[in-house]
Amino acid sequence: MISLKEIEKIYRTDKIETLALKEINLEIRKNEFVSIMGPSGCGKSTLLNIMGLLDKPSKGEVLIDSREVVKFGDRKLAAIRNSKIGFIFQSFHLINDLNVVDNVEIPLLYRRLSYKNRRKLALAALEKVGLSARTRHFPNQLSGGQRQRVAIARAIVGKPEIILADEPTGNLDSNMGQDIIDILHDFHKNENTTIVMVTHDEQIAKQTERILRLFDGCMVN
Amino acid sequence: MLKNYIKIAIKVLLRHKLFTFISLFGISFTLMILIIIVSLVDHTFGKMAPETRLDRTLSATYFKFSHTDKHSSSNGPIMSYYFFHKYAKTLEIPKKVSISSFHKNVETYKENKKFKMALKYCDAEFWEILDFTFLEGQPFNLTDVENINPVAVITRNVKEKYFNDEFCLGENMMIDGINYIILGVVENISILRPLPYSDIWVPITNINEDLLEPRLEAVSFPSYFALALAEKPADLPLIKEEFQNKITQMEFFNDMFNQLEGGFETYFETIAGVLFGRSSDGGANTSGLLVTILITMILFMLLPTINLVNINISRIMERSTEIGIRKAFGASSVTLVGQFMIENIIITLIGGFLALIFSIVILHIINQAHVLRHVTLAINWRIFYKSLLICLFFSLFSGVWPAFKMSRFQPVEALRGGQS
């Protein structure tokens, strides 16, 4: 589903160069639930961002469904992100000016769908995460757990084949965190979705099918 | 999608009340001034009664005498009736040519009350070239002019003041020792329309001078001007050329001058000629006037536009997380530029709407204060469209740069708040 070949990522400023990822080779198979672990600053999020086409590697190839995508233009990359990938971020990244259902609808805005269809799909996604009663609320009227559910609903509303979750439980207490992981597991099982999740939490990582470990920008066994 | 954009645009505007106020104030105040200026320009140069045939009409008003060897010159609206009678009335291309005086101020008395009014001497063709709105009666004709009949056409304002708004056709009015009989009443004429402007119009033959005395400059004030009506707009350059050919063979009656500049022009050309001079062939420097108007307008709009660009950059940078989110979920840079342009257009249209309301109020105040005689400034559809175009220029100009800057972000940079 996703292949990374010889990926390298260097951050350059006027004075220093920082090697964030070095010679990363990995394969994520279809319907896999993988977690990525490692200490802070080891490059976990950078790796996830490159997989999700949110960032470009300094070197190497990214293949999605066997297609090399690094050299794709803005429009093509946007179309792949829209149709194939759903993101869940640690800090939720909801738009505070929009209510819950409008936030969930965002990925559908960039597809050829009528308002009625978009609403229907957004409400169905909210039902799946148990937030049907909060559709008209604004993000700042919700708890952390509820916000992350909205973010999950937004990630799944377009029925993507891949979900990339960057520390989805990082800002939540353990109970709420487990609820979120349960939702992801349900989705993985019922919709056959490939999930790649960055986490610090060993207990949560153990619930996934495979754990990848990073240290100083390199994959370790 | 549009509904979503509008929703978020309104939310953003409400969230940043100070930014919104500064933006709206900048847009609406500048546009209001522009609308008022455009309204004045339109009132001065645009097509309106009685000058409804501007596309087919030329006037000869401003001339300059000079000498190739001497430092003597004389310029302005200075020409005599004889000059136009000999060189303009004899033109063959125009459909009609009229000779009239510029208005002069006169005083008249009724029941121990003094009335100050503008008086213009004109011929019968004057009423045929210009399109006056007659409220009552009719204009005087060729017979009245030839027979030196003491007849007059007055404005609605004169009727209201001098005749207490009562029926006045056939009534008398004593001006400069002549008892004129009122033949017609026309709608008031704006002072910004100097060629048709007056309060009272009488046959040109009633003027107390020998009109056909051979001289080029008018003997005294008021001097004269000519109007020429062409069959079709394409004839205008031919009329200009025909007149120029005639005056090149002109006889100067003294050795003070041996050159004459000026001729039949549009009103815009006349103003351009007065303000920016003429080329060696006597043509008015209209491009100078146009460039000045354009530069003034651009400079006037530049400041609020720079202000808007600045505000837009801060507004867009502040929303970089939103940009990152939208990019992450499939928005392309082009789509996002479109979104921000729509937001800009919304704020500009709100500013434009406010500017229109303010302009209506200000124009109403100007009209009520009677700062300029019989000048009724109004926002007509033409001005409204021009204002909308100005609005669009504002929104595009102030939105393009920040939107372009924003579209360069990688999604991950945008999510980090615009930092790479």
* B325 contact residues in A (CB cutoff 8 A): 93-95, 106
Residue B212: how many other CB atoms lie within 10 Å: 11
- CA atoms of B389 and B64, how far apart (whole Å): 40
A18 inside 8 A of chain B by CB: no
- State residue B213 phi and psi, 5-degree precision: -65, 125
Give yes or no for A92 touching B (CB within 8 A). Answer: no
Shortest CA distance from A47: residue in chain B: B412
Containing domain of residue A52, as a range?
A: 2-220
Domain count, chain A: 1
Under 8 Å CB-to-CB from B182, ≥6 apart: which residues?
A: B137, B151, B152, B153, B154, B163, B168, B169, B170, B171, B172, B173
Task: List C-alpha distances in Å: A48 to A51, A147, A178, B22, B59.
Answer: 5, 21, 21, 41, 77
Partners of B173 in the β-ladder: B180
Q: Count CB neighbours of A171 within 10 A.
A: 16
Q: Which residues of B touch A140 (CB under 8 A)?
A: none
- Exposed e or buried b for every residue in B37-64, given b needs 16+ CB within 10 A? ebbbebbbbeeeebbeeeebbbbbbbbb
Least confident of A58-62, A187-191, B200-204, B315-319: B315-319
State whether residue A109 sits within 8 Å of chain B by CB: yes
Q: How far apart are CA B329 and CA A124, in angstroms?
A: 18
Nearest chain A Cα distance for residue B6, angstroms: 11
Q: Which of B29-33, B222-226, B393-397 shows the lowest per-residue confidence on average (mean pLDDT)?
A: B393-397
Which residue is associated with the tokens 């495979």? A210
Q: How confident is the model at residue B31 (pLDDT cuts 50, 70, 90)?
A: confident
> A87 and B324 in contact by Cβ < 8 A?
no
pLDDT at A9 over 50: yes
Among A189, A112, A107, CA closest to A153: A107
Residue B333 to chain A, least CA–CA distance (Å): 7
Whether residue B54 has pLDDT greater than 70: yes
Any B CB within 8 A of A220 CB: no
Q: What is the CATH number of the domain that holds A34?
A: 3.40.50.300
Tell me if the bond preceding A160 is cis, omega within 30° of 0: no
- Closest chain B residue to the Cα of A114, Cα to Cα: B1
A75 inside 8 A of chain B by CB: yes
ipTM of the complex: 0.94
Q: Is B285 on the interface with A (CB under 8 A)?
A: no
B357-412 residue pLDDT tens:
888 898 888 888 777 777 777 776 666 677 667 767 767 777 777 777 777 778 88
Q: Sheet containing A218-220: which strands, arranged edge to edge?
A: A85-88, A162-166, A194-198, A33-37, A210-215, A218-220
Chain A residues in contact with B4 (beta carbon < 8 A): 98, 102, 105, 109
Task: Please tell me which residue, B116 or B311, carries the higher pLDDT value.
Answer: B116
Q: How confident is the model at residue A35 (pLDDT cuts 50, 70, 90)?
A: very high
The reported pLDDT for the residue numbered A163 is: 94
Pick B11 or B40 by higher pLDDT.
B40
The residue that leads in pLDDT, B181 or B303, is B181
Q: Which residues of B touch A74 (CB under 8 A)?
A: 332-334
Q: Does B331 touch chain A (CB under 8 A)?
A: yes
Most confident of the ranges A59-73, B5-19, B43-57: A59-73
How many CA atoms lie within 13 Å of B54's alpha carbon, on the beta-carbon side?
Answer: 18
Interface membership of B291 toward A (CB under 8 Å)? no
